[in-house]
Structure 1
């Protein structure tokens, strides 16, 4: 799951001397959210699509709109999710430690890969449970699921404060009523639940879980 295994190389990194028009044309061909810019053979940053329609000239004229974000080739794909969300991007530049532009990763490629994993691909139930912060234990949560003969596919902290923690989990559909009762007995509060047992709900299930994931 390293970034270097997902790099595409068909999208160029422009120079500041290149025209805004050429960058805009390239962006329209690919349908991406940003163009990338280099300076002195090093990656410099990204310019969002909207700014390319504000004026003509060269990318130097938009230098003040450059955002500095990129990901290293030896990072994990999980590290990219916050960048997609923070910069409202569907493409992220990939660089090496010398800040040389190597290519890019797209949101579509990363999410397509993540959707293969049981956490996203398996039919099942999504629960968000609340527990006091002082007694949070993912081990205990998993044990509650498995003690009721259900499968624990994974989870993550979706909210955290000094008082409470919300944990969003994906489990199989077996014995859901018993699981609810056991969580109640162990002083967990179910904040939200979505039970899916139809194949037609699979895409909605995956997409909703991925949306929750990138919002943390």
Structure 2
């Protein structure tokens, strides 16, 4: 899951001397949220699409709108999640340790990679459970699921404070009522749940999980 295994190279990195019109046309072709800028052969930053419709001339006139964000080629693909969310971007530039632009990864790249794992690919039940922070134990949560003869596909922490932790889990559909009862007996509160046996709902499952990852 290293970034270098997902790099695409078909999106150019512009110079400040390039025209805004050419950058705008490129974005219209690709449908991405940002263009990338290089300076002295090094990655310089990104400019959001909206700004390209406010000016004419060269990209130099938009230099004050440049945002500095990128990801290193040897980072893990999970490291890209916060960047997508923070910069409201569907594309992230990839650079090496010398800040040379190597290419990019898109939100679709990440989604496609995540969707092959059981956490996203298996149909089943999605539960968000709440527990006091002082007694949070992923081992206990997994044991509750598996002791009721259900499969534990994966989980992530969707909220955390000094008082409580919310853990979102994906499990198979077996024995859901007894799982609910067991969580209640161990003082876990189910704050959200979604049960489905339909394969047609699989895409919605995946998208929902991905959105939760983005919002962490």
After TM superposition, is the score higher than 0.5? yes
5 Å matches for 1:61-140? 61-140=61-140
CA displacement, residues 167-208 of structure 1 (integer Å, 9 cap, x when unaligned): 011111111101100100100000000001111111111111
Aligned partner of 1:11 in structure 2 is 11
Q: Is the 8 A contact 1:18 1:58 kept in 2?
A: yes
Shift of 1:109: 1.4
The runs of 4+ residues in structure 1 deviating greater than 6 Å are none
Aligned partner of 1:178 in structure 2 is 178
Q: Distance in 2 between matches of 1:160 and 1:196?
A: 27
Aligned partner of 2:151 in structure 1 is 151
Shift of 1:25: 0.8
User: What secondary structure, in the 3-state scheme, does the structure 1 residue paired with 2:60 have?
Assistant: helix
Q: Distance in 1 between matches of 2:214 and 2:149?
A: 30
Q: How many residue pairs end up in the alignment?
A: 216
For structure 2, the 5+ residue unaligned runs are none
User: What secondary structure, in the 3-state scheme, does the structure 1 residue paired with 2:44 have?
Assistant: strand
Question: Structure 2-normalised TM-score?
Answer: 0.98
- Pairing 1:167–2:167 present: yes
Aligned partner of 2:194 in structure 1 is 194
User: What secondary structure, in the 3-state scheme, does the structure 2 residue paired with 1:24 have?
Assistant: helix
For structure 1, the 5+ residue unaligned runs are none
Shift of 1:141: 0.5
Q: Distance in 2 between matches of 1:179 and 1:210?
A: 25
Aligned partner of 1:36 in structure 2 is 36
Question: Structure 1-normalised TM-score?
Answer: 0.98
Q: Distance in 1 between matches of 2:213 and 2:17?
A: 39
RMSD of the TM alignment (CA)?
A: 0.7
Shift of 1:149: 0.7
Shift of 1:90: 0.8
Shift of 1:28: 0.7
Shift of 1:71: 0.4
User: What secondary structure, in the 3-state scheme, does the structure 2 residue paired with 1:55 have?
Assistant: coil
